[in-house]
């Protein structure tokens, strides 16, 4: 006799596309990373905070747009290649159409002073949302000397010395990996 199938709690393709599409529309004006983190970790619970931070780091290092990489990561995790395609289509299709329409409107009305003020306000809101993502991720990660030192070194490489990203990653990634492996080994050794 066949066993009954267990319920599949993975998101289906439509759910992946809808969730990433909703994030894209919620982030009008910026802050896509903040909205993505909120949806993936807090609302849908598709990834834990630790998994999200690891995935976010990998997605930030890889070429391409970080949030598109995140959509590919989450979609692939739950539904393979079809899930990756659904998540990316959800993230870019609707907003792509809106951007084309808004671009045409902007070209028509770009000299209107009110529009300039609205866009300036949206830029400020986007900067604030980006800072909120950095804060949320930082309070979970920057609790020990090694991550604080790596964050300070990254800041110095990019902001103070204006070094290219590849130099920063090539220099600091081995240090970060080494620290993470040692920390993980110490946690594993401490477990009963």
Q: Which residue has tokens 């970790």? A: 41
List, in order, residues 6 or more apart from 19 with CB less than 8 Å away.
11, 39, 44, 87, 90
Helical H segments across 38-164, by residue range: 49-61, 66-109, 113-141, 145-155
pTM of the model as a whole: 0.59
Q: Along the 192 residues of the chain, how does pLDDT read in single tens digits? A: 444 333 457 899 999 999 999 999 888 766 788 889 999 999 999 999 889 988 998 998 888 889 999 999 999 999 999 999 999 999 999 989 988 998 898 889 888 888 888 888 888 888 887 788 788 878 887 888 888 899 899 999 999 999 998 899 899 989 988 888 888 888 888 887
How would you class 141 by CB atoms within 10 Å of its CB: exposed for 0-12, middle for 13-18, buried for 19 or more? Answer: middle
Cβ-count burial of 179 within 10 angstroms (0-12 exposed, 13-18 middle, 19+ buried)?
middle
From the number of C-beta atoms within 10 Å of its C-beta (0-12, 13-18, 19+), residue 151 rates as middle
Count other Cβ atoms within 10 Å, centred on residue 69: 19
Place of tokens 């199938």: 5
d(CA 94, CA 28): 12
- Delimit the domains of the chain by residue range: 13-141, 143-192
The Cα 27–Cα 36 span in angstroms is 9
């Amino acid at each position: 006799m066949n066993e009954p199938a267990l319920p599949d709690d993975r998101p289906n393709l439509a759910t992946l596309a809808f969730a990433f599409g909703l994030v894209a529309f919620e982030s009008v004006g910026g802050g896509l990373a903040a909205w993505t983190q909120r949806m993936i970790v807090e609302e849908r619970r598709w990834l834990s905070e630790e998994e999200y931070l690891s995935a976010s780091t990998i997605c930030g290092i890889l070429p391409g747009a970080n949030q598109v990489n995140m959509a590919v990561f989450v979609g692939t995790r739950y539904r393979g290649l079809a899930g990756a395609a659904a998540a990316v289509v959800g993230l870019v299709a609707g907003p792509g159409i809106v951007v084309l329409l808004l671009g045409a409107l902007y070209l028509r009305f770009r000299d209107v002073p009110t529009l300039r003020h609205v866009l300036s306000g949206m830029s400020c809101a986007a900067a604030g949302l980006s800072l909120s993502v950095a804060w949320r991720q930082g309070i979970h990660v920057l609790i020990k000397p090694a991550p604080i030192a790596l964050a300070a070194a990254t800041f110095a490489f990019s902001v103070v010395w204006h070094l290219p990203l590849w130099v920063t990653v090539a220099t600091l990634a081995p240090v970060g990996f080494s620290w993470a492996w040692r920390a993980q080994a110490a946690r594993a050794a401490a477990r009963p």
